[in-house]
Structure 1
C-alpha cells in the first residue's frame, strides 16, 4: 500500500522538468517548485550513471536538492491525522525518519526513468503575505497529461513542499486512510514496523 501511494508521487515529481529553472526566484512558491524540479531534471539528463540507476548518486541528488525543500514533519503529521498525538515524541521521530528513507529509496527508481518529460505550470496568483500556497501543474509524459499540484507553506527557512496532489488525490489524504487502518489494528508501533519492513525490503532488493 505505501509503495503504491509513494511511487506516483516521486515519479511525477522527478518528471516535472522546468525550462529556464536557473532564472526562477526561489523565494516565491512557484519559483521554488520550478527551480527545484528543473535542477533535478537537468542534473539527471547530464548524468548517464543516474539514468542507469546508480543508487548512490541518485540518493545523493535527492538529499542535496529535494529534501531541504520539503517539510516531512508537516507531511507526516497530516498523514497520521488524529493518530499523531497518540505517538510519543520518540515514535514521531522514528516515523518521520522512516518515511523519509522510504521516499528516497522509492525515488531512486523514478529518477532513473527521467528522459524527455515536460511540465506546464498554471498561473500562480498568490499574494505576497500568503503563508500557504498551491502550485498547479500538468506533466506531459509521452503526450499524455497528468495533474500534479504542490502545497507549500512559508516557514522561517523559506517555502517548503508538504503535500502533492496526483490525479486529484492528495498524498497526505491517501496515507491517512492507510495509517488509520494500521494504527487501528496494530497501534503506533504497527506504523513504524510497516515502514521499517518496507525500507528493509527495498534495501535488500537494491543490494
Structure 2
C-alpha cells in the first residue's frame, strides 16, 4: 500500500545526501529557500558519513539522522493538513494533532528506509529565481546517473509567517508525493475512519529499517 510512495521518496533522499560532501559551513539559512535545500543536503551528507559505523551496526540509526537533520526543515503540519484534505474539518483537534504526529513518524521511517538505497548519483541544482515577493517556490534539481536519462524533480518550499522557509512536497517526474498521499489517505479515511488511519501510520513508524542487498550481489 505504501511501497509506491516510498519508492517516489528516494529522489528526495538523494537531494539531501548526494551533493557537496566538503561543506565547510553547515549553518542552515532558512531565510533563503534555495540555500536552505543545498545546506541541508551538505549537512545530512556529512552526518551520513560521520555515522557510517553506527548505521552499519544498526540501520535504525538512520531514523535518528532523518529526525535530527531533515525533519526540522520539513513543514510536517502543513503537509499533514494537505494530506487530510476534505477530512480536515471533520476531525477533532485531538485527532488532527495525533495525525500530524503519526504522519511525521511515518515520514521519518520512510525517509530512513530510503537512505538504504543511496548510491553515487549526482545532483544538479538549477538556478533559482527572485523569491522576494513569493510565498512558495520550486527548487528544481536533476538526478544524474551514468547511462540513464536525468530524473527531473522539483522541491516545493513555502514561506512561513516569520519569513523563513520550509519544504512540504516533492514532485518527481510530474508526480506530487503530497497529492499521491492525499488520494490514498482520503480513501482510507472514507473506508476505515481517521483513527484507523492514525493507527496504521503509527504501526508503519515502528517498522525496522532494513538494508537491502545491492543488485548483482
Give your verdict on TM over 0.5.
yes
Once the two structures are TM-superposed, the CA of residue 185 in structure 1 deviates from its matched residue by 1.0
Please state how far the C-alpha of 1:67 moved relative to its aligned partner: 0.9
The answer as to 2:132 corresponding to 1:128 is yes
Unmatched tracts of structure 1, length 5 or more: none
Corresponding position: 1:54 with 2:53: no
Aligned residues: 204
Matched, 1:149 2:154: yes
Alpha-carbon shift at residue 204 of structure 1 (Å): 9.4
Q: Which runs of 5+ in 2 are unaligned?
A: 212-217
Given that 2:75 and 2:166 are in contact with CA atoms closer than 8 Å, whether structure 1 keeps it comes out as: yes
The structural deviation recorded for 1:35 is 0.8
Q: Are residues 1:38 and 2:42 paired?
A: yes
Whether the aligned pair in 1 keeps the contact of 2:138 and 2:154 (CA below 8 Å) is yes
Equivalent residues in 2 for 1:1-207 (5 A)?
Answer: 1-9=1-9, 11-16=10-15, 17-19=18-20, 21-22=23-24, 26=29, 27-49=31-53, 52=56, 54-144=58-148, 145-155=150-160, 156=162, 158-200=164-206, 202-203=207-208
Partner of 2:214: none
Q: CA deviation at 1:190?
A: 2.8
Note the alpha carbon deviations across 1:136-184, whole angstroms, 9 max, x for none: 1111245432222111111127210011112211111101111121122
CA contact (8 A) 1:80 1:175 kept: no
Aligned alpha-carbon RMSD (Å): 2.5
Deviation at 1:2, TM superposition (A): 2.5
CA contact (8 A) 1:138 1:146 kept: yes
